[in-house]
Amino acid sequence: MTIQEAAIALRTRKVSSVELTKEALHRVQSLGSLNAVITVMDDSALEAAAQADRELAADLDFGLLHGIPIAVKDVFETKGVRTTCGSKLFEDFVPDRDAAVVEKLDAAGAVVIAKANMHELAYGVTSANPHFGAVRNPWNPERIPGGSSGGSGAAVAGDMVFMAMGSDTGGSIRIPAAFCGTVGLKPTFGRVSRYGVMPLDFSLDHMGPLTRSVRDAAIALEAIAGHDPRDETSALRSVPDYLPPREVSIRDLRIGWPENFFFDRVDPAVMTGLERMAEAATQLGARITPVTVPDIAAMNAVARMILMSEASALMEQFLDRRNHFGADVLALLDQGRFLAATDYVNAQRLRRMMQRAFSAVWETVDCVLTPTAPMGAPAIGQATVRIDGQDEDVRLASTRFVRAINLLGLPALSMPCGLDVEGMPLGAQIIGKPFDEATILRVGAALEDATDFHTLKPDL
């Protein structure tokens, strides 16, 4: 069931929010071995669900999220509920405020049932959290769910919640979406407030939803987007209607098909999935347009320079407590301490240049279709993956097609595009112009309607 379907069921009294919430809490408990959540909020969730039922019965309708059980990554501050950021440093931290996103979801009547597990400090792609347990992929518990929003991906793929909020600094929404077979949306930088979200990187962090359908992602974005004066980078632009209509058209839309970088060294099943997406788009009247993109590998290097500098600066005050960190996160934080201030400033200068260079892409296409990751989810503990005869570090391979999009601040959607030979989900990425989430959601919804990739579910 999607949010759209549940919203209809709630309004026709076929189900209540309390029933949906009890079922969600039951799923969280029965699938506890997946380690998808850190904190379950049973009491407050059931209270909120009962209130939603009373409001809907009184025709007080706050929108399609009203009464819908959701989760938020444990990076979002929740008033009175501990917020760990997946870190031993914050294992007892209980905020006295809600993140702006949590405020907005509450105002939309959503029912937060849990804080989702994640990669420690949101700094990694495996979600093998040393403090709260490794998150396991619902498609195969021996595989990673991706990260850093791995618990959010597992909770949505495991049908525990209809939507889970994630954060994305170098792919952390889109990678778990791809590895878990869900939809994941990273909005434009500035579209969704960062206020009250424990930061990893001030200039690369983005907040967005993981959902069971593209239209559900649109519903969630509409609820969480908008200006927030408490976040200096928050955009003043108004929030448009994002929800694509039932008979959505993409006729004559120009969908960019990269001629360079994005199809180098990918699993053949990824290529097949993307080709099927392109065929579906063509049949719907869109124009698949070959496009050459600027040097994405260089952008990845610049993004890593910025991330490592900012993350290490942020965490420097805690680095004397070395036993509070997992080995992989500590290694990254240590690396950042070696980087020169001049290199950080030059990385931000290169970022501006690369932003201008990439803007030329939008003169010929309306969006760009790429793989999200070059492969399906690796095994827990696996250090390298072999793609096209070449071994590659799991983190670098997983972020190869997504990290640069954070540098550019562009909106990007990941959606299912099939399974690999081992039955693990694969993801397609649709990248849009700044603040043009509406187009990528429109394309995603049209492709979802025209294919059956989203109907594939894990056997749980």
Partner 1 sequence: MKQWKEIARGFGLNIPDLEHIVPPLDGLEAAFRPLVKTIPHDAEPAVTFHAALEVSEELR
Q: Do 28 and 52 meet the contact criterion of CB atoms below 8 Å apart?
A: no
* Window contacting partner 1 (CB under 8 A); options: 82-90, 125-133, 218-226, 302-310: 302-310
Site string for partner 1, 229-258 (x = CB under 8 A): x--xxxxxx---------------------
User: What are the structure tokens assigned to 341, written together?
Assistant: 């201030």
Question: Looking at beta carbons only, is 232 or 452 nearer to partner 1?
Answer: 232
Per CB under 8 A, 379 contacts partner 1: no
Per CB under 8 A, 187 contacts partner 1: no
How far apart are the two ends of the chain, measured CA to CA in Å?
Answer: 16
Give the H or E element holding residue 394.
helix 394-399
Catalytic residue, chosen from 127, 149, 172, 309, is 172
Site string for partner 1, 202-221 (x = CB under 8 A): -x------------------
Per CB under 8 A, 297 contacts partner 1: yes
Per CB under 8 A, 293 contacts partner 1: no
Give the interface size with partner 1 as a residue count (CB under 8 A).
35
Q: Work out how close the CB of 232 gets to partner 1 at its nearest, in angstroms, rounded to a whole number.
A: 6
Q: Do 139 and 94 meet the contact criterion of CB atoms below 8 Å apart?
A: no
Question: Looking at beta carbons only, is 90 or 401 nearer to partner 1?
Answer: 401
Per CB under 8 A, 355 contacts partner 1: yes
Cα–Cα dist 77/311, whole Å: 19
> Binding partner 1 by CB under 8 A: which of 51, 260, 289, 348?
348
User: What are the structure tokens assigned to 85, written together?
Assistant: 């950021």
User: What are the structure tokens assigned to 386, written together?
Assistant: 């072999």
Place of tokens 């095994």: 379
Place of tokens 């989702």: 116
Q: Which residue from 443, 452, 451 is spatially nearest to 287, judged by alpha carbons?
A: 443
Q: How many CA atoms lie less than 13 Å away from 372 in the CB half-sphere?
A: 35
Per CB under 8 A, 442 contacts partner 1: no
Question: Looking at beta carbons only, is 178 or 410 nearer to partner 1?
Answer: 410
Per CB under 8 A, 21 contacts partner 1: no
Q: Do 428 and 230 meet the contact criterion of CB atoms below 8 Å apart?
A: no
Beta strands in 151-286 (DSSP E): 163-168, 183-186, 206-211, 254-258
Place of tokens 């080995």: 327
- Mark whether 73 is an active-site residue: yes
Place of tokens 């990254």: 332
Per CB under 8 A, 346 contacts partner 1: yes
Q: Any idea which residues carry the catalytic annotation?
A: 73, 148, 172
Question: Binding residues for partner 1, per CB under 8 A?
Answer: 190, 203, 227, 229, 232-237, 297-298, 300-302, 304-305, 308, 331, 334-335, 337-338, 343, 345-353, 355, 435
